[in-house]
Structure 1
Amino acid sequence: MFGTHLRTGSAGTPSTPRQGSSSFHQQLVKTPSDQQQTSSSDSSTTTNAVPTTNLEGINEKNLNDYQQILQILLAAGYFRVRISALTPFDKILGGLCWCISNSYNADADVEMLSYEEEANIGKKIKLSEKVVLALRRMGCPQELSPVQIQGLDCPFILKVFSWLVQKVFESRVENKERIQRYSELQFSRRYELPQDQQDMEQYNQALPYLDSIRGVYHPKRKFKHQQRNVLKSEWGHVQTVLLEYGIEFKKIERSQQEKEDKSKLERQLRAQKQASRTESMDASQLNNQNLAELDLDEEAREKKIQELKKLVEQNENFYNNISASGASNLINLGAVDIIKLKEEYDEKTRDFMGQQENLQSEQMLHKRQVAQLTKQIENQKVIYMKAKEEFNAVKQEYEKVSETLSKFKEYNEQVQNKITELQNQVQNQDVDQAILSKLETLIALNEAFKKQEADFKTNCQLQLQELKNSIAQLESSFNDSNDPIVQLSQAYANDTEKMKKIRKLAAKRNRELAIVQSKIDEIPSRTELSQYERRFTELYAQISTKLDETKKYFVSYNTLSGTCTFLEQELSLLNSIADFFQKAVQSQDKKYKAWMINTVSDRAEKVKQTKTQMDTKLKETEKKRDDLQNKYNELVSKQRNYFRAVKEFQNEMLKNDELNKRLKMMQ
């Protein structure tokens, strides 16, 4: 949208004066820094005063805001505001473009970076529209319009500049941090600090030690089997591989007793019941067991384990010592003997398995008892450590008290020695007994005062404690929900919360009103529309005159080029006729003369045809010109009628106003 403040354009048309402007626009206003002219020789230091000799479009109300805008721009680093030849519009628009282009998150057009003060009014208006769009994209809280930029609404523009300059400073800080990080990265790529070199050297020195520690626990091969293909079973292959790496592993082969599964299950159930009974024993009974009895139980269990091992070895020896003759003797025995032997063997194996299961249950019971005892021992250790810590603390306190007591005793002895010395001195010397008795009374009085002071301090501490307790009771009574003060505070808190919500709603409505107001401000008024109309008519007049001028140039160029072509054709025709004539005069051939006459006549016919064509074109253009002239005359007559009708309408309106006034006066 175009602004209301229109100045001289590129074609030199006069600017439309702003309504309501005064002669103050042409005055020269000086700042206080310009008015104070010092005559001292120390004038080398320059101040931040901004020259304000050119104040076109600035009234008295906006002068202070305009000065603040210039000071803000100067503080931000835009020093072009010191140029006195620039107008306020150029300074403000240039400052806006500079701030937007120097903001870090600015989404500005490229034209803003190349702002020109000597541009025409059209470019400046377009640039002001782009500035407004860029501010909206940046999220400016103030809705600025091009009309306000053109009209130099300094109070509103000051708010926009304060926000923009803050953005400029923030972008400078971000750029500084980014450049610093980038410089540190580039420095770390090419150079190293002494501390980094020391750290790298320490790491390189510790690296072999770390590798050695990592390699300690790796499996190392010690042996190698020479005939690996001989191994057929998987178990043999596993055992040889483990032996190669120095690990011994024994396989426990379990005997298959399919017939005695039921008896095994019964024994296991008995063992579990016994274990549950032992687990349900009280901790007090376990604690009261004597360690000697536990040792005896362990010795008995070890004896049983040794006996069972002997039985297993006897069994294995029995099976290993069976030879072919023994097998033949068994075969030669009768069926009854074999059955008896089998029954004896079964009984022995049952007894052995029962003993083994009982031993396993006893071992489990023993393990549980040991675990419980170890747990109790750990608990007792913890209790012992706590008691030991308490004993050490008490011991330290006792030592401190004993040290202080010894110091007091030494001090008491010293005092008593001094008293005896003084008494001896008094007895040896002739001292007035009245003065001595007075001194003793004063000393006793001093001691009494000290005691009173100590009692007073203890009494004050007791009173302070009582006051604190009373304050705590009062606070607890205040915290009671039934207390009216608490109810009032709660009501106050609720009211403040409601007030905050109402303020938020009011702020939201104010923002909406501001948005609507800005949209309303964007709609131009009648005066602005009239100025736009005048400017558009001026621009249209300029464009029409320029178009007519260019059309004349085109027409003149076309006519001149046509005449040039015709003259060239005429010249070529005359040259050809002259050549033919000379050849015809020199030659005596009649056929050549006849051919020459025919060609000349043909060319004459062509010239006539072109002449007729040009005549027809001329007539057509003349006809068009006459038609356009008629239309123009009609339009001129319509315009005259329109002006006449408008004038008559104005006269009638004046008559109507007079008649209305007369009617009002008559009434």
Structure 2
Amino acid sequence: RRYGFSRQPGKTEQAEDKKIVLPPGLAAAGKAEPCDEDDLQAAEELRIKTLMTGMAAMATEEGKLTASTVGQIVGLQSDEIKQIVSEYAEKQSELSAEERPERLGAAQQHRRKVASLNKQILQKNKLLEELQAKCTDLQAKCTEAKKTLAEVKSYSEKLDKELAALETIESQADSSILQSLRALVAMNENLKSQEQEFKAHCREEMERLQQNIENLKAEAVENAEEQEPNKIIEQQYRTEKDKLQKIRLLLARRNREIAILQRRIDEVPSRAELTQYQKRFIELYSQVSATHKETKQFFTLYNTLDDKKVYLEKEVNLLNSIHDNFHQAMASSGSREQFLRQMEQIVEGIKQNRMKMEKKKQENKMRRDQLNDEYLELLEKQRLYFKTVKEFKE
């Protein structure tokens, strides 16, 4: 009876155990209900005494813990363990203070206990909020990790499919082509590495030049006396640079004009090229003329043979008609005279056709002689032309 309260066995101990099991939140809620101050103080003192009794029992066992106690301690987080240790130290200090009742009153002790418990409740609530925030963060990270894992799996499956397709194509392709492709890929990688080295060298050179520029600027700032001449020199440099740029533009314009004129001059054929063109055209004309002449002869031969065929068919038909009607025409004198008249008409028509053909033959012959004379004149002109060209060249 440290605090002046008697402990009743039996049902009172069971009630004390039930009160101790309640969490801090429910205990705080229970304090809000209207109750007697002595009852509250008695409940708090019983809870603290029971807690300290358990701790003392654990301390008397010289560090021997059961398996369940070890599992509970291992399951706790390090922060919670530290907090429990600090609470234990606070409780011990409070109990040591409670052992001096002559100095502190019961109401003051109760207020201190209530303040300590409220502080613990706030700490537990804060810890709960931190754990909830960590849980939410971990859930978000887990969701993101699952999403990333799904994307990686899909990408891996896609790569596996593409790799299988490439292996199929590689097995079906020609080995020489694959060898050349591998050589080209190796060359490409080599060129990329050379490009990276060149870029790195360029960056180093640029940094060096920039450092030189900065050094020169620093030297120019230090040499304040030479600043004005440097400005004059820089102005002259800019002026000369502008002049050089204008001269380059003018030179480029002149070069373009010269190139255009050169192309126009190149487009005009020279005398040797004209002579070659002329010879080639003459050769082509000779070939075309020979082909035309040969084709014309074939057409003439075909027309002649066709006319000969027509006349032979007419002659055969006439002879067949005479042979068929001869015996019938000779049967009587009237039919004989009619037959003879028809024969005379046929002979007269043949003579007229012959005269027409002879006339046409004479006309064609005269036309041939005229064309031959024209051809001879053209040959004479051609010889005169070649002779003149030769004399002109000489």
Structure showing greater radius of gyration is: 2
Structure holding more helix per residue: 2
Instruction: Answer yes or no: same fold by TM over 0.5.
Output: no
TM-score scaled by length of structure 1? 0.24
TM-score scaled by length of structure 2? 0.40
